[in-house]
Chains A and B, each alone.
Chain A
Amino acid sequence: MSNLNTQSNLEKVLKAGHIGVTSECGPPRGSDPEEVRKKGLLIKDHVDAVNVTDNQTAMTRMSSLAACIHLKLIGIEPVLQMVTRDRNRVALQSDILGAASFDIPNMLCLSGDHQSFGDCAQGQNVHDLDSMQLVQTVRYMRDEGKFLGGDDIKRPPKIFVGAAANPFADPFEIRVPRLAKKIACGAEFIQTQCIYNLDKFKEWIKRANERGLTDKTFIMAGMTPMKSVGMAKYMKNRVPGMDVPDEIISRLAGVPKEKQAQEGIDICVEHIQELKEIKGVSGFHIMAIEWEEKVPEIVERAGLYPRPAI
């Protein structure tokens, strides 16, 4: 995996054998670019790249591509998240070229939360492609220099392509085969769902190791610090595909309310420290939801600072 395919800093860091660190930034529900820049600057020096979510939970927000451009223009490397829910193959390819025109070097391909969770529950969804087919599409555009329709692309997009994996969704038996499929489609890095159940995650990555999958892609473990016991309970009970063990909840419940946030950060740091040592874990994707200011502390305490300059 030593040949670089893109100008991506994230690709360079991972391929140089360092533990990669990404975080994420949700675009605002408005048109003020300052909000994007502010969030980006909070974490700029502590991460290799910043994911920009694409209308997450199907709530209408500033476009992911536009927010990526704002970050790129102030020197922060974005990871463009793109869901297949809202765009057909024409729009997806078009936005990929748009991103490449600003030299946005990373992309994460997702299917997206169902629109019924968001503010446009009565809207249509598209799902012309699925997330794996989107990975294939970006790779095809980059590596073959062609559109899906077969025509040549002038200046093909040089994009480092990632996909998501949820080790905790059901059925568990196909979670590793599914990862294998995503890799077969061309996913060069994987960012996982938030990990709280370390045992289950380790089992998943062990099986991935056994199949040699961790040699073919970079797996970045997803981390989200809990702000409170209420958040932990909500994640456990209400968020589909989320596995929050009871001991996390009882640990948070065991400290006074005003100290729960700090406890959540501590848990997150401990988890990173533990998973850092696991074979097959190539990096961490720290999703501090509306809590970006805590990312530097987590990264520093987990021993992932300073970030390598390559």
Chain B
Amino acid sequence: MRLKIPANFRIVRVPCTGKVDIIHVLRAFEKGADGVYVVGCMEGDCHYNEGNFRARKRIEQAAMILDKVGVGGERVKMFNLSSGEGPLFAQYSIEMNNKIIELGPSPIRVAKQNKKNAA
């Protein structure tokens, strides 16, 4: 199965989305990411029982913080699918990519660019 997915994102593999912490998401933005999405197993199917629930809560917190610091909470999102659902993964990737393109570059990247231009 060869599916077309956007080529402008980097996949960071984790053993379980329960490993993803708020700071990982925030650092990605600090380093210039325009969006972050986390793809976990279906809720209720976590091998560690609660990993994907923990991830969801952390993504919500990250979104809240991003809102408060002017980056925008809508740039981060959690998706759930099961391991066999490749087409769904592709669909979510396209959906997220379109959303980020619509939102434009992250204010952090814009600010860094402005600074570089001024220098």
State if A and B touch, Cβ cutoff 8 Å: no
Chain A residues in the interface with B (C-beta under 8 A): none
